[in-house]
Copies of this chain bind each other. A is one copy, B any other.
């Protein structure tokens, strides 16, 4: 795998940093490579459902966002992308000191990109696969993200 073009990396990082909701959650874009992105989110009591675990809405928010940046990393700085649809299976209760969402591009095309989405709850040294899914995105060519 070639490293990500620095301009495209800056484009991705800039877009992520303008997502106020990611900052409100405390999510960080911890890695981005061509066709791959990772978002990490530390536990906070504000992110929980009624039993004190990570809320499924948090899990899906970072999964969907990781997919968007995995896709964006395969295009040019002149393009933007939009999620068309996504689906997620919740595999286990999300307990841990952080969530880590990974997304890989499965198929990239002129218009449609498909990404896989996986989220892990990490508790110290142990990691649990808490969600797996898939996302369909559309490329808006020559519609820069800002």
- Chain A interface residues toward B at CB < 8 A: 15-16, 18-24, 45-50, 55-58, 60-62, 64-65, 82-92, 106-107, 111-112, 114, 116, 129, 132-134, 136, 138, 145-146
Q: How many copies does the complex hold?
A: 4
**Roughly how many angstroms separate A58 CA and B49 CA in the complex, as a whole number?**
14
Q: Are B89 and A114 in contact (CB under 8 A)?
A: yes
Is the CB–CB distance between A48 and B21 below 8 Å?
A: yes
Question: Given the complex of chains A and B, what is the CA–CA distance between A93 and B9 in angstroms?
Answer: 25
If A20-B46, A86-B87 are given as contacts, then 14 extra A-B residue pairs at C-beta distance below 8 Å, sorted by A number, are: A19-B50, A20-B47, A21-B46, A21-B58, A55-B65, A56-B64, A57-B58, A57-B60, A60-B61, A60-B64, A85-B90, A85-B136, A86-B88, A136-B136
Main secondary structure of the interface of A (DSSP, over half): mixed
A120 to chain B, nearest CB (A): 13
* Chain B residues within an 8 Å CB radius of A114: 85, 89, 91, 132
Q: Would you call A15 and B50 a contact (CB within 8 A)?
A: yes
A114 to B129, CA, bound (A): 12
With A84-B90, A85-B90, A106-B91 in contact, is A21–B65 under 8 Å at CB? no
